[in-house]
Amino acid sequence: MLELTINEPDRLVKVAHALSTHTRIGIIKLLLKRPNVNIIEIAEELNIPVSTAATNVKVLEEAELILTELQPATRGAMKVCSRNFDDVRMILNPIAFYQNTSKLIEVEMPIGHFINFDIQPTCGMASAAGMLFAEDEPDNFYHPDSRTAEIIWLRKGWIEYRFPKKLPPGARIASLEFSLELCSEAPNYNNDWPSEITVWINDTEIGSWISPGDFGDHRGKLNPPWWNDSSTQHGLLKTWAVDAARSTVDSERCSNTKLADLRLDEKPYIAFRIGLKPDAKHQGGMNLFGRQFGDYPQGIIMRMQYE
């Protein structure tokens, strides 16, 4: 769910504009029926020119209402679209709303605030100011300066974070969601470099997503000036979620793991691990993006719905 308040006027206007035409509403409706559709298919389905479809997809993408991925095609690559949110909530009186209806706890974790890792080269990290350490030396991940990292890359292994589990008295968790920007890890970058990336919560596997590549098709919107154009530029915003019935990646079922399987009552925190399984078919590594790299100004966001 995308939640906007009147205290974010620029974003509110951008989203409202993106929803202001029948064509763009038609694209969103199409993506409800067909989760992954390329621009040519959108044009054919809506009976509009391909150029018109591409223009409207760009507006929806910039408003973060849809996600796009470049996937290999017969000639070059094609842009495939999917929905980013099932609901958009516009809150014009945020004080009253949060006092009366809030049953959501959101915590953003900086990507440098990991508590454990098992990493093999190629690996490294950088902050907005520059490279933090020499590359390909996993022991550097123990250094306290790693907490300032805004981009982390690894070819093999995993990295783990712990999120607080603070609930009102008598409340119980109804669903968990983790959102982050990531992609594969290739030398320099390679848009066609698949990697199977897996998430575990409290040591229980939730599901995997195959990243299509290590993206360099455009410069990351947030990348600092010193970052080289030949390096990884941005990722895709992906969301893993678990509820009482299943686990999903971007609202598509990825496993039958349920909240009950996570043993959430056993610990005062929620452990979130992301990485590459040793037996994964696609061993393409992983890049994690923080607030000051890539296209999305966020770290790892946990959303905890409770009742």
Are 140 and 212 in the same domain? yes
How crowded is residue 77: how many other Cβ atoms within 10 Å of its Cβ?
15
Residue 50 has pLDDT above 80, yes or no: yes
Question: What count of residues does the chain have?
Answer: 307
Chain segment 253-262, per-residue pLDDT in tens: 999 999 999 9
Instruction: Residue 16: give its domain's CATH number.
Output: 1.10.10.10
Q: Tell which of 88, 123, 154 closes a domain.
A: 88
Are 75 and 111 in the same domain? no
- Return the higher-pLDDT residue of 229 and 8: 229
Alpha helices in 19-76 (DSSP H): 22-33, 39-46, 50-62
Do residues 213 and 186 touch, judged by C-beta distance below 8 A? yes
Do residues 266 and 161 touch, judged by C-beta distance below 8 A? no
- Return the higher-pLDDT residue of 122 and 92: 122
Chain segment 1-49, per-residue pLDDT in tens: 787 877 778 888 999 999 999 999 999 999 988 878 999 999 999 999 9
The confidence score (pLDDT) of residue 138 equals 95
Rounded to whole angstroms, the Cα distance separating 39 from 73 reads: 12
Mean pLDDT of 200-227: 96
The confidence score (pLDDT) of residue 205 equals 97
Are 159 and 280 in the same domain? yes
Is pTM beyond 0.85 here? no
Q: Is the peptide bond before 122 cis (omega within 30 degrees of 0)?
A: yes
Residue 89 confidence class, pLDDT cut points 50, 70, 90: confident
Rounded to whole angstroms, the Cα distance separating 114 from 136 reads: 18
Determine what percent of the chain is predicted with pLDDT higher than 70.
Answer: 96
Residue 184 confidence class, pLDDT cut points 50, 70, 90: very high
The confidence score (pLDDT) of residue 5 equals 76
Residue 77 has pLDDT above 80, yes or no: no
Do residues 195 and 286 touch, judged by C-beta distance below 8 A? yes
Range of the domain at 56: 2-88
Q: Classify residue 93: in a domain, yes or no.
A: no
Chain segment 117-142, per-residue pLDDT in tens: 999 999 999 999 999 999 999 999 99
Q: Residue 111 is inside which H or E element, if any?
A: none
Are 290 and 224 in the same domain? yes
Which residues, at least 6 apart from 276, have a Cβ–Cβ distance to it below 8 Å? 154, 156, 157, 158, 195, 196, 197, 198, 283, 285, 286
Rg of the chain, C-alpha, whole Å: 20
Instruction: Residue 148: give its domain's CATH number.
Output: 2.60.120.260
Q: Classify residue 94: in a domain, yes or no.
A: no
Between the alpha carbon of residue 151 and those of residues 48, 138, 186, the distances in Å are 40, 15, 14
Rounded to whole angstroms, the Cα distance separating 301 from 298 reads: 7
Do residues 113 and 162 touch, judged by C-beta distance below 8 A? no
Rounded to whole angstroms, the Cα distance separating 220 from 295 reads: 5
Are 298 and 209 in the same domain? yes
Q: Tell which of 55, 88, 121 closes a domain.
A: 88
For the chain, what is the domain count? 2
Residue 300 has pLDDT above 90, yes or no: yes
Residue 251 confidence class, pLDDT cut points 50, 70, 90: confident
